[in-house]
Amino acid sequence: MPEIKCIIIEDEPLAVKVLADYVAQVPFLQLEGRFKDAILATDWLRTNDVQLIFLDIHLPKLKGMAFLNTLSPKPAVIITTAYHQYAVEAFDLNVTDYLLKPIEFERFLMAINKVKLAYDNSRLAPEKSNARDYLFLTVQKKKVRVLFSEILYVESQREYIKVVTEKKELISRMSTHEIEDLLPGAIFKRIHRSFIISVNKLESYTAESVEVQGVSIPIGRGYRNVVERL
């Protein structure tokens, strides 16, 4: 039975057909709608929920990046575009993946598997049950217990993350998206595509960076409003 509901926001009929055909081949995906512009999608999303959006950048009426900024809460987003130059901006807005047209099915599956992994982890996230104040990280084949209250920040290091606590630094093979799903959202906030901080450890901030335990951490362009809302 499909677990992840998705929609396609794309104004090119051929691109829509390719994506819809790919979605149909993945058992855990369910296509809920196809929209030729973001305005129509926005109206539909007011009364419907999805876990994933396939989003083109160059859309009529409202561009893809502007649409991304309107999403709250934000489902997983996979950018589908012929333009590579928006990748940095897209990842600053916390998209799951960035696919360049023409999209091969193998590359599509890689992106979808990222979404599925994050989705599965989110359903097991400690904040959902309010039962735990810790998580276990795999560090050099060993499971290490880490208290949420001791974590200062998390830093992305390509295929790994570095979790900096009050006592030590831990390196684990996972993405920032994966650990973000495991951390309590009320305490931990992503302020950059490569950094997640503990709000409780925040000492000071400017428009460009925050300071946590004497360490200066940059604020991504797409995350400045997150810090202001704290």
C-alpha closest to that of 146 among 128, 170, 123, 162 = 170
Whether residues 163 and 195 share a domain: the answer is yes
Q: What is the pTM of this model?
A: 0.58
Whether residues 133 and 117 share a domain: the answer is no
Question: What pLDDT score does 126 carry?
Answer: 44
Whether residues 105 and 150 share a domain: the answer is no
Confidence of residue 158 (pLDDT cuts 50, 70, 90): confident
Question: What pLDDT score does 2 carry?
Answer: 65
Give the range of the structural domain holding residue 215, as residue numbers without chain letter: 127-229
Q: What is the pLDDT of residues 11-49, one digit of tens each?
A: 999 999 999 999 999 999 999 999 999 999 999 998 999
Q: How, if at all, do strands 29-35 and 4-9 pair?
A: parallel
Q: What is the number of structural domains in the chain?
A: 2
Whether residues 113 and 134 share a domain: the answer is no
SS (H, E, C) the chain: CCCEEEEEECCCHHHHHHHHHHHHCCCCEEEEEEECCHHHHHHHHCCCCCCEEEECCCCCCCCHHHHHHHCCCCCEEEEEECCHHHHHHHHHCCCCEEEECCCCHHHHHHHHHHHHHHHHHHHCCHHHHCCCCEEEEEECCEEEEEEHHHEEEEEEECCEEEEEECCCEEEECCCHHHHHHHCCCCCEEEEECCEEEEHHHEEEECCCEEEECCEEEECCHHHHHHHHHC
Residue 197, phi then psi, degrees to nearest 5: -115, 155
Whether residues 138 and 113 share a domain: the answer is no
Q: What is the pLDDT of residues 163-216, one digit of tens each?
A: 999 989 999 998 888 898 888 888 899 999 899 999 989 999 898 999 998 999
Query: CA 123, CA 145: separation in Å to the nearest integer?
Result: 20
| Residues 118-150 as b or e (16 or more Cβ within 10 Å = b) | bbebbeebebeeeeeeebebeeeeeeeebebee
The residue-averaged pLDDT of 57-73 equals: 87
Whether residues 216 and 133 share a domain: the answer is yes
Residue 143, phi then psi, degrees to nearest 5: -85, 120
Give the CATH number, domain containing residue 88: 3.40.50.2300
Question: What pLDDT score does 5 carry?
Answer: 95
Higher-confidence position of 97 and 229: 97
Whether residues 96 and 117 share a domain: the answer is yes
Give the CATH number, domain containing residue 185: 2.40.50.1020
Query: CA 191, CA 94: separation in Å to the nearest integer?
Result: 10
Question: What pLDDT score does 230 carry?
Answer: 66
Among residues of the chain, what percentage have pLDDT more than 90? 56
pLDDT at 1 over 70: no
Among residues of the chain, what percentage have pLDDT more than 70? 94
